[in-house]
């Protein structure tokens, strides 16, 4: 658990304190910004993760699992973009620029790593007292997070197309 907390700390510091470079990006979305499909992705992610964790670990209180999964997803799904929006605000005047400027919003490998670093400890620590097999809980949390992140990445690539002009 100590390794997870160290990795989480360093990852969050890297996200918050990296030096942004804005080289007059001329990125435009041809179809739609990923922001428009975000609500659908969130709903599907929460359903898959909630039912996956609850059913595979025999947790009866699905509402409690849903609340915990939602909390963990809020931390990992929104936090990087709020930080990016905060960093873009002086240049764009809008915190929502993180969703519209450049292809950076799209799900990449770093996002998966950040998701695992944030969500696994959060969900595990809050649900471990409700399960007998803690190893299965840990594997399930990791598995459903990898599954949903890959599904969202594929969905974004199919729906949100853009290019530099």
Q: Is residue 23 part of a domain?
A: no
User: How many structural domains are present in the chain?
Assistant: 1
pLDDT digits (tens, 9 = 90+) for 125-158: 999 999 999 999 999 999 999 999 888 888 887 8
pLDDT digits (tens, 9 = 90+) for 40-62: 888 999 999 999 999 999 999 99
Q: How many CB atoms lie within 10 A of CB 60?
A: 9
Q: Is the pTM of this model over 0.75?
A: no
Place of tokens 């041809």: 30
Q: How many CB atoms lie within 10 A of CB 143?
A: 14
Q: Is residue 48 part of a domain?
A: yes
Structural domain boundaries, residue 138: 2-16+31-164
Pair 106, 160: CB distance under 8 Å: yes
Q: Which residues are registered as beta bridge partners of 29? A: 162
How many Å apart are CA 147 and CA 135, to the nearest integer?
Answer: 18
Classify each residue of 32-45 as buried b or exposed e, where b means 16 or more C-beta atoms within 10 Å of its C-beta.
ebbeebbeebbeeb
Pair 129, 59: CB distance under 8 Å: no
Closest CA to 75 of 146, 156, 11, 163: 11
How many Å apart are CA 10 and CA 18, to the nearest integer?
Answer: 12
How many Å apart are CA 67 and CA 73, to the nearest integer?
Answer: 10
pLDDT digits (tens, 9 = 90+) for 70-113: 999 988 877 777 777 777 777 777 767 666 655 455 566 777 88
């Amino acid at each position: 658990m100590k390794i997870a907390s160290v990795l989480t700390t360093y990852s969050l510091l890297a996200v918050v304190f990296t030096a942004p470079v804005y080289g007059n990006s001329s990125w435009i979305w041809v179809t739609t910004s990923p922001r428009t499909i975000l609500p659908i992705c969130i709903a599907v992610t929460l359903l898959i993760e909630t039912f996956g964790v609850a059913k595979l670990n025999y947790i009866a209180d699905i509402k409690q699992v849903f609340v915990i999964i939602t909390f963990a997803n809020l931390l990992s799904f929104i936090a990087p973009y709020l930080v990016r929006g905060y960093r873009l605000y002086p240049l764009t005047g809008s915190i929502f620029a993180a969703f519209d400027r450049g292809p950076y919003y799209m799900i990449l490998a770093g996002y998966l790593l950040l998701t695992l670093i944030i969500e696994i400890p959060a969900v595990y620590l809050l649900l471990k007292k409700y399960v007998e097999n803690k190893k299965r809980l840990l594997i399930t949390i990791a598995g459903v997070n990898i599954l949903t992140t890959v599904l969202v990445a594929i969905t974004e690539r199919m729906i949100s197309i853009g290019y530099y002009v």
